[in-house]
Amino acid sequence: MSRKFTSIETKHYEERDALFAALPKLGRRDFLKVSAAAVAAAAGSGVRFFPTSFQPVTVANAATREPFTFAYVSDSHLYRKDLNDRFVRSILRAVDDVNHLDPKPDFILYGGDLAQLGKREELDLGAEILKNVQQPIRMMVGEHDWFLDMGARWRELFGEPTYSFDHKGVHFVVLMSVNEKDFWTPRGMTPEQRMGTVAGLDNGIQSRFEVGAPQREWLTNDLAKVSADTPVIVFSHSPLYKYYKNWNFWTEDADEVQAILKKFDHVTVIHGHTHQMLTNRIGNIDFHGLLSTAWPWPYAPEGLPKLTVQMSRPDPFNPNDGCGDGSAAVSADGLVDKVYNLWNRNPIEVTSGYLASNGVKSVPAMPNMKSF
């Protein structure tokens, strides 16, 4: 019987059936690896996650790592509460969501743009709300947090924006990828004017985002000690590739950064700023966007990566539509399955298998109302 309400699970079944058909042909050792990977991947998923791809994968180091999950909240763009209550309600909703995840994620990533205009009152409000996140939190900075005081208050609250850490055999790097070449001094702008310029996504006066040479050097040194088969996950506010220049969906030195990452077997970049479901793959790097809690961006008129399955056009009546939070399941191999927890919609999972198959396997549900 054909079901009106199918989900991506249907596509998994086809894949699973194909796997089982192929299993008799595998030798015992390979079979054990495959089933172990599948079980590990499934175990790494929580109640909201769909089963991950059943593709057999190379599992050379699977035995030394355990799968885990982390969740994220991003792009909250807070004003003070008595000026804009909607944005506050949304970040509260996201914190409520991540606090109720079962099983609990290992940590929460905050994806940047906590404040809207970089004001102290905005950053402080965000910090106060994030104190209620029950799991450990890793902070990442966005341009809206930075360009009023060039990161002074951010550093006081959250420390240095660039850092790295290891977790369960995966090497994490957090970058400050929204540097801009100085456009404000020649124009004699005040800090407020500078921040206001950067705050406009389509404001052409600002410079394009970049990681910048000093940080690229830091990155090279940091990664020098990491072996090529270690899974690397990079948190960055700007996408670390070039999607649409006019909206700074763009990192000017993306090629250089990608070159530094090239030596690794597998890298995943998780980025903010774009406020939409966004998926890309360049060489050995998978790229996943984060949802905003505050508002959704439309898809850019050009440059959309082919692998991206769009999120359906949001309803302007619902301030939470096209927004949300989410999580990521990291397998024993360090592969990432990204879950978009879109409010008032079904969650959507974009798996590493989808990317590895170049968009053939585990295709997420297509929207019937796309951007146009």
Q: How far is the CB of 319 from another protein (least distance, A)?
A: 6
Of 23, 30, 150, 203, which lies in the binding site for another protein, with binding defined by CB under 8 A?
A: 203
Concatenated DSSP letters of 248-303: TEE-TTHHHHHHHHTTSS-EEEEE-SS-S--EEEETTEEEEE---SS-PPPPPSS-
Of 81, 104, 167, 168, which lies in the binding site for another protein, with binding defined by CB under 8 A?
A: 81
Site membership for another protein, residue 17 (CB under 8 A): no
Helix/strand number for the chain, H first, E second: 10, 14
Among 60-68, 163-171, 230-238, 317-325, which window interacts with another protein (CB under 8 A)?
Answer: 317-325
Distance CA 372, CA 369 (A): 9
Half-sphere exposure of 7 (CA within 13 A, CB side): 9
Site membership for another protein, residue 88 (CB under 8 A): yes
Of 53, 162, 197, 312, which lies in the binding site for another protein, with binding defined by CB under 8 A?
A: 197
Distance CA 320, CA 343 (A): 6
Asked if 72 contacts 105 with a C-beta cutoff of 8 angstroms, the reply is no
Among 9-17, 141-149, 230-238, 332-340, which window interacts with another protein (CB under 8 A)?
Answer: 9-17
Which residues, in sequence order, are bridge partners of residue 137?
A: 108
Site membership for another protein, residue 9 (CB under 8 A): yes
Q: How far is the CB of 245 from another protein (least distance, A)?
A: 11
Buried/exposed 200-235: b ≥16 CB within 10 Å, e otherwise: eeeeeebebbbbbeebbebbeebbeebeeebbbbbb
Residue type, 153: R
Of 26, 59, 61, 84, which lies in the binding site for another protein, with binding defined by CB under 8 A?
A: 84
Q: How far is the CB of 201 from another protein (least distance, A)?
A: 4
Q: How far is the CB of 293 from another protein (least distance, A)?
A: 11
Of 347, 357, 359, 363, which lies in the binding site for another protein, with binding defined by CB under 8 A?
A: 347
Residue 48 φ/ψ, nearest 5 degrees: -90, 0
Among 56-64, 104-112, 194-202, 352-360, which window interacts with another protein (CB under 8 A)?
Answer: 194-202
Of 11 and 65, nearer to another protein (C-beta) is 11
Buried/exposed 148-173: b ≥16 CB within 10 Å, e otherwise: bbebebbeebbeebbbbeeeebbbbb
Residue carrying the six token digits 């170049």: 358
Among 31-39, 228-236, 338-346, 355-363, which window interacts with another protein (CB under 8 A)?
Answer: 338-346
Site membership for another protein, residue 21 (CB under 8 A): no
Q: How far is the CB of 4 from another protein (least distance, A)?
A: 4
Asked if 316 contacts 305 with a C-beta cutoff of 8 angstroms, the reply is no
CA angle 226/270/361 to nearest 5° reads: 100
The binding track of 117-156 with respect to another protein, each residue x by CB under 8 A or -, is: ------------x--x------------------------
Site membership for another protein, residue 72 (CB under 8 A): no
- Here the tokens at position 8 are 């991506």
Q: Which residues contact 95 (CB under 8 A, 6 or more apart)?
A: 73, 129, 130, 132, 133
Size of the site for another protein (CB under 8 A): 66
The binding track of 162-191 with respect to another protein, each residue x by CB under 8 A or -, is: --------------------------x---
Site membership for another protein, residue 247 (CB under 8 A): yes
Among 98-106, 143-151, 208-216, 218-226, which window interacts with another protein (CB under 8 A)?
Answer: 98-106
Distance CA 216, CA 84 (A): 37
Q: Which residues of the chain form contacts with another protein (CB under 8 A)?
A: 1, 3-5, 9-10, 12-13, 16, 47-51, 79, 81, 83-86, 88-89, 92-93, 95-97, 99-100, 102, 116, 129, 132, 188, 197, 200-205, 246-247, 295-298, 300-301, 313, 315-321, 323, 343-347, 369, 371-372
